[in-house]
Amino acid sequence: MKYTNLGRTGLQVSIVALGCGNFGGIGSAPAFFGKGESEEEAFALMNAAWEMGINFFDTADAYGGGRSETYIGKWLQSKGAAVRDQIIISSKVFNPVGDGPNDRGLSRRHIFRQVEASLKRLGIERLDMYLIHEPDPTTPLEETLQALDDLIRQGKIHYIGASNMPAWLTAKALWISDKYNLQRFEWVQNSYSLLERHDDQELLPLCADQHLGYTPFSPLAGGWLTGKYKSAQDFPPGSRMTLRPEPYAKLLNPSTFEALESFRQQANERNISMGGLALAWVMSNPLVTAPIIGPRKIDHFQPVHEALTIELTQSDRQFLTDLFPGF
């Protein structure tokens, strides 16, 4: 495993991160709380990630209704200080954690309450990385950034970032931090893959200009780039398309399946899985810090092993990109 700086910070993170969004649920959706990976299954996945050298675990306060953070906390406790001190924990705030009007968002009140709740579940004294899970149109950005700055000064968190952020709002946040001498977002975490390349247009150039890290989630597009979906009527039981298909509904068209077939041929020629090649494509972008993978079984780590051993040239990368026009 290789390690790299998170943006312009001195924090060293593995070039692949473990996404823990399916621990105890399927993301933040209350309908799936208690589902997803059990505590035992989550432990097995974290063990496998640690053995690979992955030191960057990504979670959120609302994942599994708090179960994700709780499982991570129990795993850290079982491993002791030798492991606990090496793991970089990233968590997020925004999504609902209750039924009340103030149980969500990015207000100062909610952020302060949720940091404490996350630290308690994780069993740690401070969070290495803390992100806003998405923008909050009901709270001034200045209030959010001031609250995060105060938490850094209090020693509760070390670095702050932003997820699901458009370029214009990221630029605005950086300007506010500069104007008021506040800690700034040091990285962005958006969806990015061969089937989701909107950030190439504005966000990634901004990251390059401002020396921001970039830790994309869904590098395999919810499993689409692994080849598991061969037609609009053939979704494996328990797959993301049977549980939470909404983010990927736009892919249900003949052109997507045609492009995937061409991509399958390219993977076969390189003697690598489709997932391994898709992940290698993401990692070949010099602006990508570390893609976040969400394995649900131990054998789902295989594409990571493959991606770590293949180097794509710029021409390779462009050729694979051109297989998916319009994304």
> What is the rounded end-to-end Cα distance, in angstroms, of the chain?
30
- The 3-state DSSP class for residue 45 equals helix
| In the predicted structure, residue 300 carries a pLDDT above the cut 90 | yes
Query: If you average pLDDT over every residue of the chain, what do you get?
Result: 95
As a whole-number percent, the residues of the chain with pLDDT over 90 amount to 88
* pLDDT value, residue 122: 98
Mean pLDDT score, 52-65: 98
| 3-189: in CATH 3.40.50.720 | no
Mean pLDDT score, 177-201: 98
Query: Is residue 83 within 8 Å of 72, Cβ to Cβ?
Result: no
Strands (E), 94-249: 127-132, 157-163, 185-189, 213-214
> How far is it, in rounded angstroms, from Cα 52 to Cα 108?
38
For the entire predicted model, the pTM comes to 0.95
Q: Cα–Cα–Cα angle for 244, 248, 249, nearest 5°?
A: 95
Please report which confidence band the pLDDT of residue 239 belongs to, taking 50, 70 and 90 as the band edges: confident
Is 71 considered catalytic here? no
pLDDT digits (tens, 9 = 90+) for 196-206: 999 999 999 99
> How far is it, in rounded angstroms, from Cα 312 to Cα 284?
6
Query: Is residue 263 within 8 Å of 225, Cβ to Cβ?
Result: yes
* pLDDT value, residue 229: 86
As to burial, measured by CB atoms within 10 angstroms (0-12 exposed, 13-18 middle, 19+ buried), residue 238 is exposed
Show me where the domains of the chain are located. Answer: 3-189
Within a 10 A sphere around the Cβ of 152, how many other Cβ atoms?
16
For 319, list phi and psi in degrees, rounded to 5.
Answer: -60, -45
Please report which confidence band the pLDDT of residue 292 belongs to, taking 50, 70 and 90 as the band edges: very high
* pLDDT value, residue 233: 64
Q: Which of 3, 63, 192, 248 is catalytic?
A: 63
> How far is it, in rounded angstroms, from Cα 58 to Cα 73?
13
| In the predicted structure, residue 279 carries a pLDDT above the cut 80 | yes
* Least confident span in 77-81, 229-233, 262-266, 274-278: 229-233
pLDDT digits (tens, 9 = 90+) for 104-117: 999 999 999 999 99
pLDDT digits (tens, 9 = 90+) for 114-154: 999 999 999 999 999 999 999 999 999 999 999 999 999 99
Q: Cα–Cα–Cα angle for 185, 191, 194, nearest 5°?
A: 135
Which of 126, 123, 2 lies closest to 54, judged by CA? 2
Mean pLDDT score, 187-202: 98
